Structure 1
Amino acid sequence: MVEWLNQSLRLAQFATTPLEILGFLTGVLCVYLNTRQNVWGWFFGIINAVLYGAVFWQVKLYADMGLQGYYFFTSIYGWWMWLYGGKNGRELAVSRTPTALYGLFALIFGLSTLLWGYLLSRYTDASLSYADSALTVASLIGQWMMARKYLENWLVWIVADLCYVGMYLYKDLQLTALLYAVFLVLAAMGYFRWKRDVPALRPKPF
């Protein structure tokens, strides 16, 4: 890693590094563009995944570090899906999450959190193994739902982002905690923006 990216500095009251600042900016751009269903959000998601992979490796949040690899590949997948994943290879439209998926999501969340948390606590020096794992698995699910343009992905992100703010404050990643507070607001905005594009949920004209 280029040394200047890891130089300690203060931004207002936040202790941070240029690497974390770049992660902050690309993260905000990514999520903001996603709320507007702009495919360029996935481009900034790819860059953000690389930057935050390095940030989380340095503070031993290994589950979050691994999550960035998943973000990298699902950003490519999401970019393609949004452009060509709809009917007849057209742009993908916003839809409700199929009810049958919720049970599968719950099973994946519970089992993966327990297994990943155990492995991290048993075989690594990871910090907050189970909390980090739970939020990582929730993010895996939320990211896949976003790539499929399921409306409820934003509800998953609202809960996850709220918990992430607390975890990053605890780990003294103050700027990243602020980033996830911004993500929390953007997730709420995204939910209401996308909700307008679900045909069954559009307000009926008088």
Structure 2
Amino acid sequence: MLHSLYEFWTAAVGNTPLEWVAVLTGFACVWLAARESLWNFPIAIFSCALYILVYYGAGLYSDSLLQVMFILLSVYGWYEWLYGGRSKTELPVSRTRRWEWVVCGVFIAAFTTGFGYYLEHHTDATLPHWDSFTTAGSLAAQFLLMRKRLENWWLWILVDVLYVPILWYKELYPTSGLYALYLGLAVYGYLQWRKSMEKEQAAPALQQTTIS
């Protein structure tokens, strides 16, 4: 009994110090993204580099690979947020285009089916299809986030709801708790970005009224 309690406590406070550093920096980068801060990108790159090791050690190979993609997307997103607007200006928050939804939907379905099959039959990965689905959903959400599409937070909410039990099952308790916090941050991010978008859209009309 005491041994079981000790094992649970050891896992609950973190399998390694590395996981806790990844957890704290991961939380920081999502909070900064919700606040539209450019600092979310360098911190995200650092956190993802740590999670490559954390997820690989837990047998979540798809999620380990996902971190590599996040690093590449974060570099591109950093540039887009700075110069992706009109005339190389800062990128504003906007709604997702129809073609972007189609691309994201097709990508998620294809990746989940194809990579899930590969993981199931050629590796010792656990939960191969769920792992692949959350990976694909995260990549789609990150793609929308780097374009500052408001609805990226919808996908993050879906992904976070799934990650919490998956990571708990894999005994990554601090990271599971982190994704529970991510869920709250995703809701907060959506509300903040919607407010920012509405303010941006109202600015030209207000300026025109003032001039008139």
TM-score, normalised with respect to structure 1: 0.90
The answer to whether 1:152 aligns with 2:180 is no
**1:79 to 2:87 alignment:** no
The offset of 1:16, in angstroms, is: 2.6
Distance across 2 between alignment mates of 1:110 and 1:13: 34
Match of residue 141 from structure 1: 140
Q: 1:111 & 1:76 partners in 2: Cα distance? A: 25
Deviations 1:40-75 (A, max 9, x none): 000100001100000001011000000000011111
Structure 1 residue aligned with 2:210: none
Offset of residue 11 of structure 1: 7.1
Which one-letter code corresponds to 2:27 in the other structure? V
* Partner SS, residue 196 of structure 2: coil
Partner residue in 1 for 2:34? 35
Runs of 4+ displaced beyond 2 Å? 8-16, 199-202
Aligned to 1:95: 94
Aligned to 1:106: 105
> Could you tell me how far apart the structure 1 residues matched to 2:151 and 2:159 are?
13
Question: In angstroms, what is the RMSD of aligned CA positions?
Answer: 2.1
CA distance in 2, matches of 1:102, 1:53: 28
SS of the residue aligned with 2:97? coil
**Alpha-carbon contact 1:24-1:176 (below 8 Å) kept:** yes
More helix by share: 2
Residue in structure 1 matched with residue 171 of structure 2 by the alignment: 172
CA deviations 1:169-194 (Å, max 9, x no partner) are: 11010000001011110000000000
The correspondence of residues 11-50 of structure 1 with structure 2, limited to 5 A, is: 13-50=12-49
Q: Which residue number corresponds to residue 188 of structure 1? A: 187
Question: What's the counterpart of residue 126 of structure 1?
Answer: 125
Question: Number of residues paired by the alignment?
Answer: 197
Task: Name the counterpart of 1:4.
Answer: none
In 2, Cα distance between the equivalents of 1:132 and 1:70?
15
Partner of 2:160: 161
Cα distance in 2 for partners of 1:81, 1:11 equals 41
Show structure 1 runs of 5+ residues with no match.
Answer: 1-7
CA deviations on 1:85-138 (whole Å, 9 max, x unpaired) are 111011000000002222222111111100000011111111100000000000
Partner of 2:209: none
One-letter amino acid matched to 1:128: L
Q: Which amino acid aligns with 2:183?
A: L
Counterpart of 1:66, as a letter, is L
In the aligned structure 1, how far is the partner of 2:48 from the partner of 2:91?
A: 23
